[in-house]
């Protein structure tokens, strides 16, 4: 059997979404040769330009609290890490940070925290979402990233006005998931949460970690297939980075390889799925100062500047070497704007940045037109 040259594979992928087999996706994800990787990124960039133009959507990230009931083996916020000073930002301050993002004409704000399932938390989020919806118009979406919850809780937040939800599946391989989590964490529940969110009309985001111990290129190809099978609208993924205060803290990683894998995954995902929103994640910036810009050039179209007050940032560390711990939101925004300009792209100020895939799957229905509500 002769192998199809990478160039011709890329041409096929550019022509139509879903053109690549799992084996072909795995081949792209595993590419090492610099010239071949450049060709991969250039092909993905072409598809992105067709989908969204040379434009970046900004999503402000507020890390509203760092308490977490879970104990994921890789994460610095895990319940078992006693070295974390736990905080919860007062509601009025969360709303002020969201308002700051709205005033700066960001497309959306993400409220993120560890996973807490309680009535008090549910109600706190309802109040915060309502308060943001009260000033943010149609062009400012409220996005939640608050972990696994019951369908009733997701419904209450949706009814309060949240339009989008981010919940990473972490890996599409349930067996690999099992090695990264305690026995009482369920891959199937997480997948079912994504399905519940979709039923409730959310624009649904998911994602994975890349370069996990024991993960293969086939697993990563399976992740892209998962996004397609589950009809995921927004994708955020980044390389795994060990955190010293976790059970996986001692895992040795080759940082240059993690960066390559991260960029390859962004590009392969863009080539296979064409119209999803794809984030240039902050972890890539840890691995290279221009890591996020390189992701934009490999097919990403969303950036998530941190808009949390500086004082809280050092207590929200999922992985080591988190950047911007001493920077203000104003500084991060300036830094990011310069980075976007440096690659000749522009920021889509004042636009909600709705995933083209979400608009397509909703057709031209009234619901889609009123998306941010």
Q: What is the contact surface with ligand 5AD in residues (CB under 6 A)? A: 74-75, 168, 170, 209, 238, 240-241, 243, 283, 318-319
Closest approach of Cβ 168 to ligand SF4, in Å? 8
Question: How many residues are present in the chain?
Answer: 373
Minimum CB separation of residue 238 from ligand 5AD in Å reads 6
Which residue, among 348, 373, 294, 364, has the nearest Cα to 51 in the 3D structure? Answer: 348
- 357 binding ligand SF4? (CB under 6 A): no
Closest among 299, 232, 301 to 262, alpha carbons compared? 299
- Please choose, from the candidates 98, 40, 55, the residue with its C-alpha nearest in 3D space to the C-alpha of residue 302: 55
The reply on whether position 166 binds ligand SF4 by CB under 6 A is: no
Check binding of 243 to ligand SF4 (CB under 6 A).
no
Question: Of 61 and 131, which CB lies nearer to ligand 5AD in the complex structure?
Answer: 61
Please identify, among the stretches 69-77, 87-95, 205-213, 297-305, the one whose residues bind ligand SF4 according to the rule CB under 6 A.
Answer: 69-77
- Is residue 317 a contact residue for ligand SF4 (CB under 6 A)? no
Max CA pair span of the chain: 64
Residue 281 token pair: 């994640």
Of 37, 59, 78, 317, the one binding ligand SF4 by CB under 6 A: 78
Question: Comparing C-alpha atoms, which of 261, 264, 230 is closest to residue 357?
Answer: 230
Identify whether the C-beta of residue 109 lies closer than 8 Å to the C-beta of residue 308.
no
Quick one: which of 60, 65, 107, 114 contacts ligand SF4 (CB under 6 A)? 114
* Residue 60 lies near ligand SF4 (rule: CB under 6 A): no
Angle at 199 between CA 196 and CA 204, to 5 degrees: 75
CA distance 186 to 179: 12
CB under 5 to 8 A by kind: which of ligand SF4, ligand FES, ligand 5AD, none does 324 bind? ligand FES
When CB distances are held under 5 to 8 angstroms depending on the partner's kind, the choice from ligand 5AD, ligand FES, ligand SF4, none that residue 114 binds is ligand SF4
Minimum CB distance to ligand 5AD smaller for 70 or for 294: 70
Phi, psi at 58, each rounded to 5°: -105, 130
| Angle separating helix axes 217-229 and 255-273, nearest 10 degrees | 30
Binding segment toward ligand SF4, per CB under 6 A, in 70-78, 203-211, 259-267, 298-306: 70-78
Judged by beta carbon distances under 5 to 8 A according to partner kind, the member of ligand SF4, ligand 5AD, ligand FES, none in contact with residue 336 is ligand FES
The secondary structure element, H or E, covering residue 342 is helix 329-342
Distance (Å, whole) CA 212 – CA 172? 12
CB atoms within 10 A of CB 246: 22
Q: Which is nearer to ligand 5AD, 161 or 211 (CB)?
A: 211
Nearer to ligand FES, 301 or 329 (CB): 329
Neighbours of 183 (CB within 10 A): 6
Q: Is residue 75 a contact point for ligand SF4 (CB under 6 A)? A: yes
314: its two tokens = 């050092």
Q: Report how far residue 299's alpha carbon sits from residue 52's, in angstroms, rounded to the nearest whole number.
A: 10
* Binding residues for ligand FES (CB under 6 A): 305, 324, 327, 331-332, 335-336
CB of 334 to ligand 5AD, least distance (A): 25
Residue (226 or 319) nearer to ligand 5AD, CB: 319
User: What is the DSSP code string of 81-143?
Assistant: -TTS---B--HHHHHHHHHHHHHTT-SEEEEEE-----HHHHHHHHHHHHHHHHH--TT-EEE
* Residue 115 touches which of ligand 5AD, ligand FES, ligand SF4, none (Cβ within 5-8 Å per kind): ligand SF4
Whichever of 12 and 195 has its CB closer to ligand 5AD, that residue is 195
CB-nearer residue toward ligand FES: 281 or 301: 281
372 binds ligand SF4 (CB under 6 A): no
Least CB distance to ligand 5AD at residue 169 (A): 9
**Which residues of this protein are in contact with ligand SF4, per CB under 6 A?**
68, 70, 72, 75, 77-78, 114-115, 147, 318
């Amino acid at each position: 059997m002769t192998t199809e040259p990478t160039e011709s594979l890329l041409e096929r992928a550019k022509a139509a979404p879903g053109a690549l087999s799992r084996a072909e996706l795995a081949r792209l994800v595993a590419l090492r040769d610099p010239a071949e990787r450049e060709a991969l990124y250039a092909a993905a960039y072409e598809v992105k330009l067709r989908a969204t133009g040379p434009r970046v959507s900004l999503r402000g990230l507020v890390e509203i609290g760092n308490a977490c009931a879970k104990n994921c083996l890789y994460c610095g916020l895990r319940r078992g890490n006693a070295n974390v000073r736990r905080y919860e930002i007062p509601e009025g301050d969360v709303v002020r940070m969201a308002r700051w993002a709205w005033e700066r004409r960001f497309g959306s704000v993400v409220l993120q925290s560890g996973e807490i399932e309680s009535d008090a938390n549910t109600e706190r989020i309802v109040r915060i979402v309502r308060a943001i919806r009260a000033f943010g118009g149609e062009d400012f979406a409220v996005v939640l990233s608050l972990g696994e919850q019951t369908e009733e809780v997701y419904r209450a937040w949706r009814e309060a006005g949240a339009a989008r939800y981010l919940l990473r599946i972490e890996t599409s391989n349930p067996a690999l998931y099992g090695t990264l989590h305690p026995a009482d964490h369920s891959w199937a529940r997480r997948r079912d949460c994504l399905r519940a969110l979709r039923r409730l009309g959310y624009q649904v985001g998911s994602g994975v970690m890349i370069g996990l111990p024991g993960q293969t290129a086939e697993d990563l190809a399976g992740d892209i297939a998962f996004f397609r099978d589950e009809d995921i609208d927004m994708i955020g993924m980044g390389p795994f980075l060990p955190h010293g205060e976790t059970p996986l803290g001692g895992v040795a990683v080759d940082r240059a390889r993690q960066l390559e894998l991260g960029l390859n995954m962004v590009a392969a995902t863009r080539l296979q799925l064409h119209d999803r929103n794809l984030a240039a994640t902050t972890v890539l910036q840890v691995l290279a100062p221009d890591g996020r810009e390189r992701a934009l050039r490999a097919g990403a179209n969303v950036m998530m500047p941190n808009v949390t007050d500086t004082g809280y940032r050092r207590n929200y560390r999922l992985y080591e070497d988190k950047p911007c711990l001493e920077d203000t939101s104003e500084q991060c925004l300036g830094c990011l704007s310069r980075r976007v300009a440096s690659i000749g792209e522009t920021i889509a100020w004042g636009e909600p940045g709705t995933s083209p895939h979400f608009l397509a799957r909703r057709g031209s229905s009234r619901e889609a037109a009123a998306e941010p509500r």
